[in-house]
């Protein structure tokens, strides 16, 4: 038996990267998972590969109607909703002077508003279920900013604030809300960094290596499961001590 047997889960940004690793671990632990993402090809392929306890749904996290349809799809498929993992997000680094308002607002739309809408959309179905677990993916950059991260870090700080506020509001309904704070995880974008940048970044970390996507997925499983039944409103780091490491300077201007 898995620790998530019988639980119905939505994972935004679940088509690949950290979200894809979360989907795989959740299915292994017995959950029924809706892969919610804009990337239809990879999302459908993942759902088909993992079998009948997984389905794909096209989700634009910045659109409230899209969230409503996504939640309804999960309820229609499996009769309710127990867990939401708000993983969808975008990064990218630019100096403030080079950041357009359009770029800044798009980061807010996806990382911050998308997380807010996800939380809002699952409250009623989770209350109907007698409780649930919401995991919002922030970042160690949501605790310790670096040069060039104004847009990204602003939203990840905001996700932590949202998490704490939601935890206070929803505790009476048996809904737990926690934040996951990954560090530098060896996702496909990070794998594409130039080798000298990879080596320099790894050298700045306490463990001298990047995290694995499965590291974040296993922590997310814990937060979704009844093993974390007394945890809410908290930050859970999966960063290899990155938040304690030397602050990073701004990257070269592009």
Per the CB < 8 A criterion, the answer to whether 84 and 9 are in contact is yes
Catalytic site includes residue 104: no
The per-residue pLDDT for range 159-175, each reduced to its tens digit, is 999 999 999 999 999 99
Total structural domains in the chain? Answer: 1
Query: Residue 254 domain-assigned?
Result: no
What percentage of the chain carries pLDDT values higher than 70? 96
Instruction: Return the HEC string of the chain.
Output: CCCCCCCEEEEECCCCHHHHHHHHHHHHCCCEEEEEECCHHHHHHHHHHHCCCEEEEECCCCCHHHHHHHHHHHHHHHCCCCEEEECCCCCCCCCHHHCCHHHHHHHHHHHHHHHHHHHHHHHHHHHHHCCEEEEEECCHHHCCCCCCCHHHHHHHHHHHHHHHHHHHHHHHHCEEEEEEEECCECCHHHHCCCHHHHHHHHHCCCCCCCECHHHHHHHHHHHHCHHHCCCCCCEEEECCCHHHCCCCCCCCCC
247 — pLDDT class (breaks 50, 70, 90):
low
Indicate whether 88 pLDDT > 80. yes
Query: In terms of residues, how long is the chain?
Result: 254
Query: Residue 37 domain-assigned?
Result: yes
Domain range for 157 is: 8-236
CATH of the domain at 157: 3.40.50.720
pTM: 0.94
Query: Residue 122 domain-assigned?
Result: yes
Query: Residue 249 domain-assigned?
Result: no
The per-residue pLDDT for range 195-216, each reduced to its tens digit, is 998 988 888 888 899 999 999 9
Query: Residue 1 domain-assigned?
Result: no
Query: Residue 207 domain-assigned?
Result: yes
Indicate whether 23 pLDDT > 80. yes
Indicate whether 73 pLDDT > 80. yes
Indicate whether 16 pLDDT > 70. yes
Indicate whether 227 pLDDT > 80. yes
Mean pLDDT of the chain: 94
Query: Residue 84 domain-assigned?
Result: yes
Query: Residue 88 domain-assigned?
Result: yes
Q: How high is the pLDDT of residue 252?
A: 54
Residues 201-228 as b/e (b if ≥16 CB within 10 A, e otherwise) read beeebeeeebbebebbbebbbbbbbeeb
144 — pLDDT class (breaks 50, 70, 90):
confident
Pick the catalytic residue from 93, 140, 152, 237: 152
């Amino acid at each position: 038996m898995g620790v998530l047997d019988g639980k119905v889960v939505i994972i935004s940004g679940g088509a690949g990267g950290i979200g894809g690793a979360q989907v795989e671990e959740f299915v292994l632990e017995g959950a029924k998972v809706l892969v919610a993402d804009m990337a239809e090809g990879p999302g459908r392929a993942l759902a088909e590969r993992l079998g009948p306890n997984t389905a794909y749904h096209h989700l634009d996290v910045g659109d409230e109607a899209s969230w409503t349809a996504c939640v309804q799809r999960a309820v229609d498929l499996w009769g309710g909703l127990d867990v939401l993992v708000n993983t969808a997000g975008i990064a990218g680094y630019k100096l403030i002077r080079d950041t357009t308002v359009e770029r800044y607002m798009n980061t807010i739309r996806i990382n911050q508003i998308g997380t807010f809408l996800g939380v809002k959309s699952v409250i009623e179905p989770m209350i109907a279920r007698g409780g649930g677990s919401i995991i919002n993916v922030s970042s160690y950059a949501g605790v310790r900013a670096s040069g060039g991260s104004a847009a990204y870090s602003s939203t990840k700080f905001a996700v932590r604030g949202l998490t704490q506020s939601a935890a206070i509001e929803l505790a009476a309904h048996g809904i737990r809300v926690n934040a996951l704070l990954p560090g530098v995880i060896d996702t496909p974008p990070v794998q594409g960094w130039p080798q000298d940048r990879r080596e320099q970044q790894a050298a700045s970390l306490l463990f001298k290596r990047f995290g694995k996507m499965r590291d974040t997925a296993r922590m997310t499983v814990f937060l979704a499961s009844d093993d974390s039944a007394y945890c809410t409103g908290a930050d859970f780091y999966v960063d290899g001590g990155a938040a304690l490491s030397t602050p990073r300077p701004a990257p070269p201007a592009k």
